[in-house]
Chains A and B, each alone.
Chain A
């Protein structure tokens, strides 16, 4: 599957994919930034509330951005659909509103797909890869 970059401003284009986030009964069409620097997938907390995703009360993490400000994140499990592939993901949910789209990180994205980015061509090639542990 090949997707296009998104042009955000005249100076900024980003590798952002169309994704579907699902619970048992609901789904939200959303967008996710391909981010090999993130160990987990991260989505906005409002997504979890809308889908009714149960967030772990025990497994919390504090996430710090480059601004230095810390926000609380909680783990939850949902189904992520990219192209025609649906699979369960354990992701972090946090108030990342200022970041504006989800983050597709190593666990839950790069462990499912081989990914090739070409900024010059503005393309994101995403191909299924064998499951790795």
Chain B
């Protein structure tokens, strides 16, 4: 590691970007907070929306300039190998923290599914709670909730072997295509890079479309909603956060596609691409876990 010979490390001069990013984040969450509270209180006000749009704008622009700056510095060859290693480590541990974020939601699913659904019915070691819910039968997927007035259950769940299987295939394939693009970079074959990236991005978009279609079906035909009890809750939160990550990942790859079109990336200078690709693989792995635990074992 650091035993190698000394390389100068680039320390950037002061920068206004972070403060704008902080303001951007603040405005964004402040706006969302207002919108949510207004919704729940039944108030009609534009304040939240305006703040959110402003925040989003500041955030978007700041990120754009930030990444442009990094790319520019990279092209000025200010970055040593050691610097690039910092980015590699940074991205890996960022992905690790994302894994932990999903772990919280998977943990909730396991706990509910393995313990709570039984416990509410008075089955198991946690006391005769069934006395409180005389009409409740422990069963997974939980369609008839203990309190159907507040949490009207769904009439069915989405079977694993339909669209979710298709989506699994789409994402797994896209993991391969993104690797092909990587190989293409290593070979310096620009045309191939662009081809494979286009395919990957398209697969991502199809995935998102299918997912959206499935949601509409769940809401309209099955009564499976966020508010339909813990099955709907865990189902939409897990797949929803995954979907959000796919969206982000697709967006990242799209940027990489534009960069490739502009002629960026060489075999030893393509970390931006690699970071996006790792992120994509991570999203893929999460999906496989989802497919198994939410759809196959859950349905």
Partners in one complex: no
